[in-house]
Homo-oligomer: A and B are copies of this chain.
Amino acid sequence: MADTTTSTTAEPVDPAEWTCPAPLRDHPVVVMGHGGGGALSAELVEHLFVPAYGNDTLAGLADSAALTLGGARLAFSTDSYVVRPLFFPGGSIGDLAVNGTVNDLAMSGARAAYLSCAFIIEEGTALPVVRRVAQAVGTAAAAAGVTVATGDTKVVDAGHGDGIFVNTAGIGLIPEGVDIRPQRAEPGDVVIVSGPVGQHGVAIMSVREGLEFGAEVCSDTAPLGGLVQAMLEATLDLHALRDPTRGGLGTALNEIAAASGTGVVLDERALPVPEAVSAACGFLGLDPLYVANEGRLVAFVPREHADAVLAAMRAHPQGAEAAVVGECVEDHPGMVVARTGFGGTRVVDLPLGEQLPRIC
A-side residues, CB < 8 A to B, are: 1, 5-9, 11, 13-14, 17-22, 25, 28-36, 41, 44-45, 48-49, 52-55, 57-58, 64-65, 67, 69-74, 76-82, 84-87, 113-114, 116-132, 134-135, 137-138, 141-142, 147-163, 165, 167, 169, 171, 173, 357-358
Whether A45 lies near B78 (C-beta < 8 A) is: no
Nearest chain-B residue to A70 (Cβ)?
B72
B contact residues around A125 at 8 Å (CB): 7, 9, 11, 29-30
Knowing that A35-B155, A78-B117, A81-B154 touch, tell me 16 more A-B residue pairs with CB under 8 angstroms.
A28-B126, A32-B155, A34-B121, A52-B131, A57-B149, A58-B148, A65-B149, A69-B171, A76-B114, A77-B116, A78-B150, A80-B119, A80-B120, A80-B152, A156-B358, A161-B161
Tell whether, in the assembled complex, residue B69 and residue A32 are in contact, meaning their CB atoms are under 8 Å apart: no
Given known A-B contacts A120-B82, A160-B161, A114 and B148 have beta carbons under 8 A apart: no
Cross-chain pairs A/B with CB under 8 angstroms, 14 sampled: A1-B157, A8-B122, A8-B124, A8-B162, A21-B127, A21-B128, A30-B155, A35-B154, A52-B134, A53-B138, A58-B149, A69-B114, A76-B116, A165-B165
Q: How many copies of this chain? A: 2
- The listed residue (B22, B28, B72, B159) touching A8 by CB distance below 8 A is B159
Q: Are A124 and B5 in contact (CB under 8 A)?
A: yes
Specify which of B1, B48, B167 is in contact with A80 (CB 8 Å cutoff). B167
Residues of B within 8 A of A158 (CB): 1, 5-8
